A and B are shown apart, each in its own frame.
Chain A
């Protein structure tokens, strides 16, 4: 899962100025940190849903992504 997120999902997220970092997996809950543009995206839930679908399609695992936004201080208003 960590490899998949780092090598398959991450480059695509980075392509839009975002950043995703795998932190842990607890059963079917996968926790990730979202930075960059993702940290302030108002429709991030759509993207998270897309990641869940990709994981199911590519890895055959049904997971729920727990996305933790890490906003830079200058956007944290």
Chain B
């Protein structure tokens, strides 16, 4: 006998409850009156406050009309009279839209409307019978809409105007709707007890029976509410456990699926909405990050800024996040991260009189090990970052509330909340957070952030109303709505139960962001060091009687910092964001070039150690072209912080012979046709360095799925594109210093020229790559499989090195198949090894016996044109004796990245083995700031530079001293009185 499945087709009780809930929502408005006088001017935003209008005159905008266009902003206005019948009531302006709208009433900023809220209270702004409504409306097809399913159906560039209204809300119905939102969420969530859910279903069904949906009456709605109060809220038989802190915030990407210029209005809208919620709900507290966003309010909307300052003073509006923006925390250098804190904290102190003690980075793609020290020395006690808990693809990060120990041993209180940083404060999300919380035994609360985000928006009335009902649900964890500071201070300070995590906070996802958009990474690296050089030159010129261009440097530094935002620098953004970044970089470069280089025959070595490495000197008369510039190679031998002339020498070119092997003073070499090495015999160390592929180019198939720009999957190496050898490697040039071997490779779509340079006086081997890249879903990597027995890969972090295991013993090592490094990585045995030094690459793949340097990607989301075009970049292979520290690889990498400057400056300061990371005029212009960084893991004493102030990284004096004992990997900020610094400097024009 066949089995017949019994399927229920009749409506279940829960379905009838849902149906009636939908009906009830139709009666939220007691009354609405359409405003029929709207006009519109469509435009496109061209800068922060400038718009290119499509229409010379406004046109009428009626219900049912089409409005908005791709990348469009609309200016909508109406003159309307508030209906007499609404007087004495709470009146709302209502407009359902997929767009983001800033609303002014009679010239005052009344609030915002967007896909997450469709009305705002206008009573405080009614100062005459006739109202002038002005709306700046910005339409986005933004991905965060997906978090609000109702808005998905109206997503798109062209919208239908659904009309604008004055409305009055039926508070009785609205209150019951909130009750139902809350309770239906519990009844549908598997996080809660099944019996409780059944109980709620039963009582909601009964409650709604009081209402005749053909004739909804307030007294019936009240009876339904009373039923819920009596049979659900007053029933405390179901006991919840746990303690959850509810902190309101809004994640605001400075650029992502929108440009930076649009964020000015996104931020304003968000701030206005939250301030209006504070007016309605005095207990509401809201945390807002990124000093830059406050700066834009101050600059473009000063009247709102004054109100904002008042809300900060009264404690409702809470600045969090000490940094200028929420930067990527893999790729920026230590000095950039310090400047994020310096400019962030300086702004908070100047404008609000506060030092922000938290670092708020909910969305960043992993966090460098150098951060704890930087944060602790920037006035920050607490670090908050979500992604390791919710996005790791392999291992569950073991802590939520813990202590994070940095590369130098600095410790900071850290919170990696268990769940997503964007939530809408539903009971199931609160319960899920507690269930996922891993530090229950630490006697701390777990942090639940709530508020819509990515493009701002934040908290809604609904979230607050639900939150006010949480205490009525005995089955929920105990909740407190508090500020971020209260949560951090209450749960972390002096808590001895917290576990310690010692290491980087590696995110097991988004590994492609070390490589995507290579031009952005190249500019970022180059400009980080150009800013360093500009400040050093400016300090020198200051003591030659010239003006220190503090504003120019600060303006450009901030521009660089904005572009380090975690969806700009990592490359996860749309095409116009890329263009904006490149435009910014070019402007920064042009400004800095005016400061850095002069027309002199002298070259200044801004490094505080002698330059002894092979160096390319730009010279229009040079006979080598490197990265598009003419010049020559030499070993400058310029002492630390001194200037000298450099001339091209023309020694004999018989230092190299080419027969079966290429013979140089250092090596015997055999190339394969594709530019990889078949043999690299070290004549001094008597060893062949090569075991497998070495300098071997691969183009792997790279299909990571929907997180295209972000991710590289662990199996990327399974399949690769065939690379054709159009021209096998051959000697193309030689002189007395250098020999160039060139190969031309290609695929069906791309051309790849590889120039390999070997040198008479250096063990270095430089590889230049000139690429016309037209791939899609390909990952270019160069592989190095040296004959070295090592289980560790040493990687530069920009402020010291980190050692990562190369084996795959556990899932933790397996997950770290692609990691971020800075200027170099190194594989060494005790007495020798190989370093690979780069000047613009960050991604490193760790294989079983080999390492790959990631060169280029070709992703199509969010930017279908990502990385397509011409690329030129170099890297340097450096076999050496000893390990990386003994071989001074870090210094050589600085030489490779920081060019000589055409200036005649001499500075007489000796900082020993510490790296001069920065030399600048203090923000208060009273001191010269010297930033020194210990990068080799050694202790020592700094002395013989006179007396100095030891400062934190935000330039606050901690104490005065004549010498300073430093620890491994410590970054030190010193201030020397400006009156005493001139003796160190000699500047000659």
Contacts and interface: CB of A to CB of B under 8 A. Distances in A.
Interface string B446-484: 000000000000000000000000000000000000000
Nearest to A51: B70
B703 A47 contact: no
A14 B575 contact: yes
B920 interface: no
Nearest to A19: B864
A76 B470 CA distance: 41
Interface string B801-833: 000000000000000000000000000000000
B83 interface: no
Please tell me the size bucket of the interface on B: 20 to 34
Given A17-B257, A72-B860, 14 more contacts: A11-B576, A12-B72, A14-B574, A14-B576, A15-B44, A17-B862, A19-B865, A36-B861, A41-B155, A42-B153, A42-B155, A47-B156, A50-B66, A50-B157
A12 B69 contact: yes
Contacts of A46: 66, 156-158
Contacts of A65: none
B865 A15 contact: no
Contact of B156 (A9, A11, A14, A42): A42
B864 to A, nearest CB: 4
B787 to A, nearest CB: 40
A12 B574 contact: no
Interface string B683-708: 00000000000000000000101101
A36 B69 contact: no
A49 B862 CA distance: 24
Contacts of A13: 70-71
Contacts of A49: 158
Nearest to B776: A72
B259 interface: yes
A52 interface: no
Nearest to B258: A15
Nearest to B156: A43
A50 B72 CA distance: 12
A75 B71 contact: no
B285 interface: no
Interface in A2-61: 9, 11-19, 35-37, 41-44, 46-47, 49-50
B141 A41 contact: yes
B862 A72 contact: no
B708 A74 contact: yes
A22 to B, nearest CB: 15
Interface of A: 9, 11-19, 35-37, 41-44, 46-47, 49-50, 72-75
B375 to A, nearest CB: 34
Contacts of B44: 12, 15
18 contacts: A11-B71, A12-B72, A13-B70, A16-B70, A16-B140, A17-B257, A17-B862, A18-B70, A19-B865, A36-B574, A42-B155, A42-B156, A43-B158, A44-B156, A47-B157, A50-B157, A72-B708, A72-B861
A76 to B, nearest CB: 11
Interface string B70-99: 111000000000000000000000000000
Most buried by A among B140, B575, B863, B865: B575
Contacts of A41: 141, 155-157
Given A11-B71, A17-B257, A75 B706 contact: yes
A59 B140 CA distance: 27
A47 B70 CA distance: 8
Interface in B140-161: 140-141, 143, 153, 155-158
Given A36-B861, A37-B141, A15 B70 contact: yes
A69 to B, nearest CB: 13
Contact of B158 (A9, A19, A35, A47): A47
Nearest to A10: B575
Interface in B306-354: none
A17 B860 contact: no
Closest 3 CB pairs of A and B: A15-B71, A46-B158, A43-B156
Contact of B576 (A15, A73, A75): A15
A72 B864 CA distance: 9
Given A36-B862, A72-B861, A74-B705, A17 B574 contact: yes
A50 B706 contact: no
A41 B863 CA distance: 16
A63 B589 CA distance: 44
Interface in B844-899: 860-865
B862 A16 contact: no
Nearest to A46: B158
Contacts of B862: 17, 36
Interface-centre pick from A13, A37, A47 (highest chain B CB count, 10 A): A37
A77 to B, nearest CB: 11
A50 B158 contact: yes
Q: Which of B69, B141, B155, B157 has the most chain A CB atoms closer than 10 A to its own CB? A: B157
Contacts of B257: 16-17, 37
Contacts of B703: 73-74
Contacts of B66: 46, 50
A18 B44 CA distance: 16
Contacts of A37: 141, 257
A75 B157 CA distance: 19
A12 to B, nearest CB: 4
A65 to B, nearest CB: 13
B59 to A, nearest CB: 14
A41 B139 CA distance: 14
Q: Most chain-B Cβ atoms within 10 A of its Cβ — which of A9, A17, A49?
A: A17
Given A35-B860, A72-B708, A74-B705, A12 B70 contact: yes
Contacts of A11: 71, 576
A15 to B, nearest CB: 3
B253 to A, nearest CB: 13
Contacts of B861: 36, 72, 74
Contacts of B574: 14-17, 36
A26 B96 CA distance: 41
Nearest to B262: A15
A47 B156 CA distance: 8
Given A17-B574, A37-B141, A12 B71 contact: yes
A59 B574 CA distance: 28
A50 B256 CA distance: 25
B101 to A, nearest CB: 17
Contact of B259 (A15, A43, A47): A15
A16 B98 CA distance: 14
Contacts of B157: 16, 18, 41, 46-47, 50
Interface centre among B69, B70, B158, B705 (most CB of A within 10 A): B70
Interface in B572-595: 574-576
B69 A50 contact: yes
A50 B705 contact: no
A9 to B, nearest CB: 8
Nearest to B70: A12
Nearest to B153: A42
A48 B72 CA distance: 15
A40 B469 CA distance: 39
A15 B43 CA distance: 13
Query: Which has the most chain A C-beta neighbours within 10 Å: B72, B143, B156?
Result: B156
A36 B259 CA distance: 16
B156 A18 contact: no
A46 B574 CA distance: 22
B541 to A, nearest CB: 41
Contacts of A50: 66, 69-70, 157-158
Interface in B518-535: none
Contacts of A16: 70-71, 140-141, 157, 257, 574
A41 B865 CA distance: 19
Nearest to A33: B864
Nearest to B69: A50
B338 to A, nearest CB: 33
A41 B830 CA distance: 58
Interface in B34-90: 44, 66, 69-72
